[in-house]
Amino acid sequence: MNFYAIGAIYKFEMARTFRTLLQSIVSPVISTSLYFVVFGAAIGSRITDVEGVSYGAFIVPGLIMLSLLTQSISNASFGIFFPKFIGTIYELLSAPVSYVEIVISYVGAAATKSMILGLIILGTSGLFVPLEVQHPLWMLLFLVLTAVTFSLFGFLLGIWAEGIEKLQIVPLLIITPLIFLGGSFYSIEMLPPLWQKITLLNPVVYLISGFRWSFYGFADVSVGLSLTMTLVFLLLCLTAVWWIFKTGYRLKA
């Protein structure tokens, strides 16, 4: 394992984040704060609590997941897309660096950035609502697994995309609606029985449900099922990455 190469790519990607601090960190935190203001004032006044938890505190795990998923995909997809777009990816592919080391570098940097942002948002949330984390180790586990899984998905998206339009279409038209319809701002038990069953087809439900359980001890689906679904998606992403590097899909053409 070439740890020097991994460290070099990792540091380069992390440095890019700190060069664009306003866009990478400040902007998502401000956006999340606006969610608290809007939803807390407009909806929180009508929904006093959910399962004994104030509505403002209830939406915190969903807001963190919203930022975590979108930023993981964005960081990883742009990280690998631009080297491919400007042609420097061929220098990387011809260097004495294995495919495993390339994936670890880019995905590790993207996951690190999104986890840092998630923890910052968690700290910022404490300024608006009282928070408690009943299962901190489980919270960190779901945070890491989700960040790594969706960073891998973003890495796949960056390789697949042929232009900026394709790079943005999946997060905008697929991922964001799934997050909003996945129980970020409500419990699926609030929905009619038919829509509850339909909502369970949304994979994001399991991520948010397990993450919310780590905070408050209740969930829309069992924690074991949430963890299983997360690991299944992680395995699917790993399999897809292996296939891409094995076949050279969108890399060697």
pLDDT at 253 over 60: no
pLDDT at 45 over 70: no
Q: What is the pLDDT of residues 51-92, one digit of tens each?
A: 778 888 888 898 899 889 988 998 899 888 888 887 777 777
Average pLDDT estimate for 208-214? 93
Helix (H/G/I), strand (E/B), else coil: 247: helix
- Distance between CA atoms of 23 and 111, rounded to whole angstroms? 17
The encoded tokens of residue 146 equal 């989700």
- Distance between CA atoms of 75 and 55, rounded to whole angstroms? 30
- Phi first, then psi: what are they for 63, rounded to 5°? -70, -40
The pLDDT of residue 130 is 81
Instruction: Look at 159 and 47; give whichever has higher pLDDT.
Output: 159
The pLDDT of residue 115 is 93
Place of tokens 């489980």: 138
Closest CA to 76 of 132, 134, 149: 149
Instruction: Look at 22 and 128; give whichever has higher pLDDT.
Output: 128
Q: What is the pLDDT of residues 183-199, one digit of tens each?
A: 888 888 888 888 888 88
The pLDDT of residue 171 is 84
Q: Is 129 left (phi over 0), alpha (psi -120 to 50) or beta?
A: beta
The pLDDT of residue 41 is 63
Instruction: Look at 138 and 174; give whichever has higher pLDDT.
Output: 138
Percent of all residues in the chain with a pLDDT value above 70, rounded to a whole number:
93
Predicted TM-score (pTM) of the model is 0.89
Q: How many CA atoms, within 13 angstroms, populate the side-chain half-sphere of residue 55?
A: 17
The pLDDT of residue 43 is 67
Percent of all residues in the chain with a pLDDT value above 90, rounded to a whole number:
28
Average pLDDT estimate for 149-157? 93
Which residues lie across from 53 on neighbouring strands? 50
Give the model's confidence band at 157: pLDDT under 50 very low, under 70 low, under 90 confident, else very high: very high
Cα 140 to its chain centre, rounded Å, is 13
Average pLDDT over the chain, rounded to an integer: 85
Instruction: Look at 176 and 36; give whichever has higher pLDDT.
Output: 176
